[in-house]
Structure 1
Amino acid sequence: MTTPTGPTTGEDRIDVAVVRDVAVLTIDRPDKLNALTVAMRLRLAALIRELGTGEAVRGIVLTGRGRAFSAGEDLKQAPTTEAEVHKAFESFHDVTRAILQTRVPVVAAVNGIAVGGASEITLCCDTRIGMPATEYFQPENARGLTISNATSLLLRRLVGNHATRMVLGSPRVSSAEALRIGLLDEVVEPDQLLERAVDTVHAWTPEGNTTALHLALLRPLVAEVEAAFEREDHAAHEAWASGLLTAGVAGFWTNKETTA
């Protein structure tokens, strides 16, 4: 039984439903491969905070509509000033903060390719479940962009030294490889993805549970995450000041037009 709890309108494009007492938040912009605007990220963070208290649902599942989890930041709305760079990074960081502050499990149901900032959002979730078509791709290093979402802490925490090659080499990481290195915890068939995610929440929230207390113990410390944000904000400032960010975004669109 699925109960819609909020419409997808305008720039929000985050669909909300409740499935067996679990909130399913779906990035709903399939025509743009679910690319995330600042407005979408702010809505996502607000929804996670609202639903993460445990008062209305047992847990949260994040997924995408269509064949992509998300293409990451919408470069059509790329920052044009340093203030906009800060706003963009802060909106990504805020999603991480919201997830790490919940009292319920947060599951990333990665239904397709997860690019850049969107792949980074899954890193702070309590588990990541994929399907055979799932891919991770972090192209920032060759685009003049820098990582955010406390990725400098969370990615290495999950996959150890594989983090360096993922960020610097920007390979496309298949679901099989992601499972092998610990980036994904499970890979299931597409028609089982959401059901498995919801089942996981139920398994982790038995009657009389101390799940909220254990989540606080298992997740990274707030001070560590905030320190990572500070380092990443400094890197973003350096990328902007050097002109690499502006040139990288322009180059992305030039290459896209050339290969279209």
Structure 2
Amino acid sequence: MNDPTTGPGVIDVDIDRDVAVLTLRRPDKLNALDVATRVQLAQALREHGTGETARGIVLTGEGRAFSAGQDLRRTPTTEAEFLEEFASFHDITRAILETRVPVVAAVNGIAVGGASEITLCCDARIGTPATVYYQPENGRGITISNASSVLLRRLVGNHAMRIVLGSPRIGAEEALRIGLIDEVVEPEALVDRAIETVHAWTPESNTTALHLTLLRPLAEEVEAAFAREDVAAKASWESGVFTAGVAGFWTTKETTS
């Protein structure tokens, strides 16, 4: 079913075998995330994360991309808008970590920047041979968000430094090896496998909600990461690095297209 609270054509919510499958449906824009979409996503996560309507959540994208991350066609023009951008990314992390059900990222294709960071707070990440992680922020004047400054290290340890500073494209095989994803399956099996994972983690008479609280990062640690990331983001804005980086991205894109 299409959930009317998320708006048509942006985020679809389907209940499949008691699991809420949230699909980013903006394939013509590689499922890029503007502020409105991020707000809708956080709302959908909270609505279906209580355990009352679904036993788990699967987050995926339509088409060849999981998501291209921040929609650079809608860049902020004021500091207030810029901070709102970051706040809306952070709130998706909060929404996921507050759920009482497992959240599984079904990473169907390339996951860029903030979108790749969203998957880091999910309880599992399942990919396909087409899965690619790419964090280009360092060369675009943008700083990382979503508490990824702690979540990325939590998953991949010292690999976090080269992933952020070097911005390599990390394919499925390497992502599996270093811990960015937990499993690789064929594309046609991706969502089914994610749903199966939710079912396996929510047996009858379970204590899953309690274990999620014990195994997920502490809220205090996440909020402290948000605060540090906000300081870094503000510095990038005030220095002009952010504006110059985004402008340089579009210049490069126009000359190579």
1:82 aligns with one of 79, 82, 94: 79
Correspondences of 1:16-55 after superposition (within 5 Å): 16-55=13-52
The share of aligned pairs that are identical, in percent, is 72
For residues 145 and 29 of structure 1, the distance between their equivalents in structure 2, rounded to whole angstroms, comes to 23
Q: What residue in structure 2 maps to residue 252 of structure 1?
A: 249
For residues 37 and 215 of structure 1, the distance between their equivalents in structure 2, rounded to whole angstroms, comes to 29
1:187-227 Cα shifts (integer Å, max 9, x gaps): 00001000000000000000000000000000000000000
Measured on the aligned residues, the alpha-carbon RMSD in Å equals 1.1
For residues 5 and 81 of structure 2, the distance between their equivalents in structure 1, rounded to whole angstroms, comes to 28
Secondary structure of the structure 1 residue equivalent to 2:181: coil
Contact kept, 8 Å, 1:123 with 1:155, in 2: the verdict is yes
Structure 2 unaligned segments of length 5 or more: list them. Answer: none
1:95 aligns with one of 75, 78, 92: 92
User: Deviating runs (4+, > 6 A) in structure 1?
Assistant: none
TM-score normalised to structure 2 length? 0.98
For residues 40 and 139 of structure 1, the distance between their equivalents in structure 2, rounded to whole angstroms, comes to 21
1:12-41 Cα shifts (integer Å, max 9, x gaps): 711110110000000000000000010000
1:13 counterpart = 2:10: yes
1:211-259 Cα shifts (integer Å, max 9, x gaps): 0000000000000000000000000000001100000000011111111
1:67 counterpart = 2:64: yes
For residues 149 and 62 of structure 1, the distance between their equivalents in structure 2, rounded to whole angstroms, comes to 16
Correspondences of 1:98-247 after superposition (within 5 Å): 98-247=95-244
Secondary structure of the structure 1 residue equivalent to 2:66: strand
Contact kept, 8 Å, 1:6 with 1:17, in 2: the verdict is no
Shift of 1:8: 6.5
Shift of 1:62: 0.2
Aligned partner of 2:61: which letter? G
Structure 1 unaligned segments of length 5 or more: list them. Answer: none
For residues 6 and 88 of structure 1, the distance between their equivalents in structure 2, rounded to whole angstroms, comes to 24
Secondary structure of the structure 1 residue equivalent to 2:60: strand
Q: Residues 83 and 4 (structure 1 numbering): CA distance in 2 closer, same or farther, change over 3 Å? A: closer
TM-score normalised to structure 1 length? 0.97
Aligned partner of 1:149: which letter? N
For residues 205 and 7 of structure 2, the distance between their equivalents in structure 1, rounded to whole angstroms, comes to 38
Contact kept, 8 Å, 1:4 with 1:18, in 2: the verdict is no
